[in-house]
Structure 1
Amino acid sequence: MKLTLIGGGGVRSPLFVASALRRAERSGLKEICLHDVDAKKLEIFGGIAAEITRRVQSPVRITTSLDAERALEGADYVVTTVRPGGEDGRVKDERIALSHGVLGQETTGPGGFAMALRSIPVITEYASLLKRVSPDAWLFNFTNPAGLVAQALSDAGFDRVVGICDGANAAQEAVAQKLDVSVREVQAEVFGLNHLSYTRAAYVDGKEVLQGLLDDDSFLAETPQRIFDPAIIRRHRLWLNEYLYYFYYAEKALGDIQADTRTRGEEVRDLNRDLVAQLSAIGVDRDAEAALSAYFAYEQRREATYMHYARPEAPSMEDADKAIRAVGSEAADGVGEGYAGVALNIIDALQTGVECHIGLNLRNGGAIEGLADDDVVEVSCVVDGDGIRTKKIGAIPDGPAQLIHNIKRYERLAVRAIATRSRDLAVEALVAHPLVLSYSRAEPLVDEYLSTHAEFAGEWR
């Protein structure tokens, strides 16, 4: 079995490879091909991935390719995680939004639209190439904004495409950790959209356990739910996707981000530049131990400061610097799997036939009442040797439903705008978004994004 990672020159690709190697024997994995358009980064992070593979004495072949067709040819599964425009594009997205007094975040609000107008054409091109050279392959998209990209691919007729996001399964993982059981033993009920989903129940041995845990302050404090007031969680009686913070604390989130010296995009850009410079100076072929230590220390620092403005206990970048330990290569087995775990769990289930319950982004197909069958939603699914099926969710509470419907309307308009390159539809999309709402903000936002990203957007009417 061949697994291809599009975006293999990304900083997270060695973690993806490490996770895949741990599962290789049961899934029948023989080759992991890393593809990227950046030769320097592909060499650096492909080298880190190869060194991890060598150290665990895995028989899996690690290959790299700058040629997309070669990378996709013969692939059984493909994971896409790319960032057209790079970190600088993300920084521009965030700063433009903030300059208009609107949330600057890479997937939520106008920043998500700006990223989508770059991401959707690129991923559509990869999907078309994959359909030509490996028509039976599955494509798992992690490229943000994952919901918009998945909707665009679905609308374009790509059937073997699934949007993946680790956030969809955060409740399932938190329950498993709290009760000290395998994630496979927890069956959650997830509904909503990407970065806008809720979990209403979690079952272990047929018994619902989430509702009781929502009343446990210690459980909430140990999980991503700590960013919300417990009273809000208990009012909804739902596990809240952490990105709902930007809606439920809209003015606070905006104020905190505006008050920061750097946006998250600027933080990540600087982190990544420093890492690439450090690894280039070390050279994994010259000093593998030092390269691996630098790499895992980077990961520790990046994780420690994620959404730090929403977490009072989170360290500043400076504090994270002081806290970094020299992490050796043995840490490869201790890192979190993130999106890699989602993709690999699906692959395991499809390959082995052993049933897996997981939250994914795909066509609704009647799973959630009130949404169209062809709306891409984030919903609980069952995966096994027969494929991927949504679980019946039925009716959902009025409060979440209203927000979900508003954002789905924005997503539909945004996808149509990008497909037809229509400025007017793009403006209507942002007006429909609850974090924008007005033409006086939407029109200059759209114009500035189209001008800034003209290289990717092309000519719009």
Structure 2
Amino acid sequence: MKLAMIGGGGFRTPLVYSALLRDHAPGRVTDVALVDVDASRLTTMARILEEQARGVADAPHVSVHTDLAEGLAGADFVFSAIRVGGLDGRARDERIGQSHGVIGQETVGFGGISFALRTLPVVMELARTVARVAPDAWVINFTNPAGIVTEAMSGVLGDRVIGICDSPIGLARRALGALGLGGRRDAELRYAGLNHLGWVTGLRVDGRDVLPDLLARPDLIESFEEGRLFGAEWIQTLGALPNEYLHYFDYRRDVLQADQYEPSTRGRYLAHQQGAFWDRAGTSESPLAAWRLCRHEREVTYMATNRESAGMGERDEADILSGGYEDVALALMRGIAHDERARLVLNVRNRGTLRELDDDAVVEVPCLVDSAGAHPIAGAELPDHGRGLVVAVKYVERQAIEAGVHGSRAAALRALARHPLIDSVNVARALLEDATSSFHDELSHLH
């Protein structure tokens, strides 16, 4: 099989390649095409993957491409992982958000909407190119904001685009670990929501839901990252385990205050850190070692202001482990290509799964994967306290899609003004003005 990775010069590419190197089963991926607009990063990334592959006799062949159609030709699967505007764009979103007293994080609130507005025209062109050059390929979307991007691309590709996020599986893994069940790969996860806006509502092991056992023990709740982030009392009050990104909603004022005291935003920190990494890796005898060090630094500082606002201190080494999205991606590909059935939490069209939303709304729920694609499993249910928030945010996502795909400035303003983290139409209008000024070329389609 051939896998084309769009944004193949991106930082997470070695994680995906490591999963491919571990797969020796018949019908595996044998060719990987890295596609990126940055030729220099492609060259360095190819060196990293070459170093990863040393000693692996059947390692997938890697090619590099700056021409999209060339890289897509003959692809069975396409990974989309691009960042329009780069990390500098993320830093600008954060700065604009802070200047108006709102959260500017890249997938939540203003930052997520701004990111979507400049990303959607690019991913829609990608979707059309896939449909033309590789019509039988399946697109696995990692591009943020993943729910919005997946739903927009589904307008061209239908159910052949599926979104992936590692937050749900990471949360479930840590919760099971707290119960001493970390090795149970047969646990049945019940999860419902949107991307970066969902809750674990059940964890079935041997036919019994063990989530109530966890919720009854404050000491166990606060033994893992999300438990310490939200606090045992609040999680017990909710009666469900929230995705880490809900911390921006539940503790908005606390996060904003912590952001104000930070000397640098997350985007600015990553831009500096990864800029230094690319300079170092380009000339290093072991670019893989440089990548591993940079990745560890990145994970150690993940959601640092949120943790600071909760008084958590440093991350535990166990929490720094990858959530496993590369393994989910591999299971998804094998499930579709070889009818190897798997149960995975994915971003797919609702198809009646969550009764609060229409069939075409992309939701994040457990799915059954087979040769026909990913099918949401009946029974996913939002907790009562989350229904209104999900409906409100889905409206915002739809308005962002209208703005990003069709260039409606009015829809962009509606998306900002109706987002739960933005509390004034005047602030929404000012945010939009600053975004269109700062990203003049990327947002020139708005009218």
TM-score when normalising by structure 2: 0.93
Residue among 285, 289, 296 paired with 1:300: 296
Tell me, in whole angstroms, the C-alpha distance in 2 between the residues paired with 1:5 and 1:43: 14
| 1:12-411 equivalences in 2 (<5 Å) | 12-156=12-156, 158-178=158-178, 179-180=180-181, 182=183, 184-216=185-217, 217-282=219-284, 287-288=285-286, 291-311=287-307, 312-315=311-314, 336=322, 338-393=324-379, 395-411=381-397
Amino acid of the residue matched to residue 400 of structure 1? G
Answer whether contact 2:32 2:62 (CA < 8 A) is retained.
yes
Instruction: After TM superposition, give the deviation of residue 181 of structure 1 in Å.
Output: 5.4
1:400-451 deviations in Å (ceiling 9; x for gaps): 0011111111111111122221211111111110111311101111111112
Tell me, in whole angstroms, the C-alpha distance in 1 between the residues paired with 2:409 and 2:53: 48
Tell me, in whole angstroms, the C-alpha distance in 1 between the residues paired with 2:380 and 2:344: 17
Answer whether contact 1:69 1:133 (CA < 8 A) is retained.
yes
- Secondary structure of residue in 1 paired with 2:158: coil
Q: Which one is further off, 345-354 or 92-101?
A: 345-354
1:354-412 deviations in Å (ceiling 9; x for gaps): 32111111111100111111111111111123421101135533310011111111111
Instruction: After TM superposition, give the deviation of residue 315 of structure 1 in Å.
Output: 4.2
- Secondary structure of residue in 2 paired with 1:433: coil
Tell me, in whole angstroms, the C-alpha distance in 2 between the residues paired with 1:420 and 1:257: 34
Tell me, in whole angstroms, the C-alpha distance in 1 between the residues paired with 2:313 and 2:326: 24
Assess, with a 3 A threshold, how the Cα gap between structure 1 residues 219 and 395 changes in structure 2: closer, same or farther. closer
Amino acid of the residue matched to residue 353 of structure 2? A
Answer whether contact 2:192 2:381 (CA < 8 A) is retained.
no
1:70-89 deviations in Å (ceiling 9; x for gaps): 11111111111110111111
Amino acid of the residue matched to residue 418 of structure 2? A
Answer whether contact 2:366 2:380 (CA < 8 A) is retained.
no
Match of 1:326? none
1:294-340 deviations in Å (ceiling 9; x for gaps): 22111111111101122244449xxx9xx9xxxxxxxxxx9636432
- Secondary structure of residue in 1 paired with 2:152: helix
Instruction: After TM superposition, give the deviation of residue 153 of structure 1 in Å.
Output: 1.4
Assess, with a 3 A threshold, how the Cα gap between structure 1 residues 396 and 313 changes in structure 2: closer, same or farther. closer
Amino acid of the residue matched to residue 124 of structure 2? T
Answer whether contact 1:224 1:242 (CA < 8 A) is retained.
yes
1:242-265 deviations in Å (ceiling 9; x for gaps): 000000000001111121000100
Tell me, in whole angstroms, the C-alpha distance in 2 between the residues paired with 1:351 and 1:204: 28
- Secondary structure of residue in 2 paired with 1:21: helix
Q: Which one is further off, 135-144 or 24-33?
A: 24-33
Match of 1:328? none
Identity of aligned residues (%): 36
Q: Which one is further off, 245-254 or 154-163?
A: 154-163
Tell me, in whole angstroms, the C-alpha distance in 2 between the residues paired with 1:335 and 1:58: 27
Tell me, in whole angstroms, the C-alpha distance in 2 between the residues paired with 1:14 and 1:382: 27
Assess, with a 3 A threshold, how the Cα gap between structure 1 residues 172 and 397 changes in structure 2: closer, same or farther. closer
Match of 1:413? 399
Answer whether contact 1:369 1:394 (CA < 8 A) is retained.
no
Tell me, in whole angstroms, the C-alpha distance in 2 between the residues paired with 1:26 and 1:225: 41
Assess, with a 3 A threshold, how the Cα gap between structure 1 residues 26 and 389 changes in structure 2: closer, same or farther. same
Instruction: After TM superposition, give the deviation of residue 240 of structure 1 in Å.
Output: 0.5
Tell me, in whole angstroms, the C-alpha distance in 2 between the residues paired with 1:162 and 1:111: 23
The count of residues paired between Structure 1 and Structure 2 equals 440
Tell me, in whole angstroms, the C-alpha distance in 2 between the residues paired with 1:168 and 1:48: 28
Tell me, in whole angstroms, the C-alpha distance in 2 between the residues paired with 1:363 and 1:138: 15
1:143-173 deviations in Å (ceiling 9; x for gaps): 1111111121123453300111111323332
Tell me, in whole angstroms, the C-alpha distance in 2 between the residues paired with 1:177 and 1:127: 39
Q: Which one is further off, 196-205 or 450-459?
A: 450-459
Amino acid of the residue matched to residue 208 of structure 2? K
Amino acid of the residue matched to residue 187 of structure 2? V
Tell me, in whole angstroms, the C-alpha distance in 2 between the residues paired with 1:85 and 1:33: 23
